[in-house]
């Protein structure tokens, strides 16, 4: 299998982190330079179907894009350590928190960075400062929810590390490009973030 990835983008890091958590080393990493538009070339679009990274090309030529979908496929191939839930109840809880973290935290922070970092102007038709500000406020609103959740849970979906933690941490880490830090009053969020960043696979996936 080949993983089309980019060290400049946050979503491919989700997949690299999941691979590192599972100790998978037999997936070939193919670096795509998104700053020069390599993901928009006819060849790449023919392989993937969309101008997105990451994308996982299977041995039979089928290609899967969207980071969480790729991670779910890898979970089926490499089920341990479990990242998506062991039974229907836990799977639903992990899915719920993963979607929340993607929609209300990671995506808004990515838009904040893309509309405020000068070097990323090449990725937007027009950078709009108001878009950056609006998304930062929305992300911080959800951080308050996470802080309450993490007051009595070690990780977002429960008592162990899951894909929800990967999605949330990668989103917060990407915001460091614009020197963003979560509000200091979210002490439980800070504790959790430090724990996630300390995991060996966190640096392996970076």
Q: What pLDDT is recorded for position 125?
A: 65
Q: What pTM, to 2 d.p., does this model score?
A: 0.94
d(CA 120, CA 142): 25
Q: What pLDDT is recorded for position 8?
A: 84
The number of domains in the chain is 2
Q: What is the pLDDT of residues 144-164, one digit of tens each?
A: 999 999 999 999 999 999 999
Give the sign of the dihedral formed by CA 85, CA 86, CA 87, CA 89.
Answer: negative
d(CA 116, CA 197): 24
The answer to whether residue 198 scores a pLDDT higher than 90 is yes
Domain-embedded: residue 206: no
Tokens of 82: 């479990």
Q: What is the pLDDT of residues 50-78, one digit of tens each?
A: 989 999 999 999 999 999 999 999 999 99
Tell me which residue range forms the domain holding 30. Answer: 2-77
Classified as helix, coil or strand, 37 is: coil
Same domain, 113 and 153: yes
């Amino acid at each position: 299998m080949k993983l089309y990835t980019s060290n400049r983008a946050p979503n491919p890091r989700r997949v690299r982190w999941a691979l590192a958590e599972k100790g998978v080393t037999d997936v070939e990493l193919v670096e795509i330079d998104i700053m020069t538009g390599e993901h928009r070339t006819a060849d790449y679009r023919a392989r993937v179907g969309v101008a997105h990274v990451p994308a996982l090309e299977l041995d039979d030529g089928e290609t899967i894009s969207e980071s969480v979908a790729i991670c779910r496929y890898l979970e089926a191939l490499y089920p341990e350590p479990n990242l998506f839930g062991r039974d229907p109840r836990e799977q639903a809880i992990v899915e719920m928190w993963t979607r929340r973290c993607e929609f209300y935290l990671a995506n808004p922070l990515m838009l904040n960075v893309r509309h405020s970092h000068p070097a990323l102007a090449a990725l937007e038709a027009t950078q709009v400062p108001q878009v950056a500000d609006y998304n930062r406020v929305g992300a911080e609103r959800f951080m308050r929810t996470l802080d309450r959740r993490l007051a009595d849970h070690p990780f977002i979906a429960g008592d162990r590390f899951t894909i929800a933690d990967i999605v949330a941490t990668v989103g917060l880490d990407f915001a460091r490009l614009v020197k963003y830090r979560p509000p200091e009053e979210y002490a439980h969020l800070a504790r959790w973030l430090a724990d996630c960043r300390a995991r060996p696979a966190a640096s392996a996936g970076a």
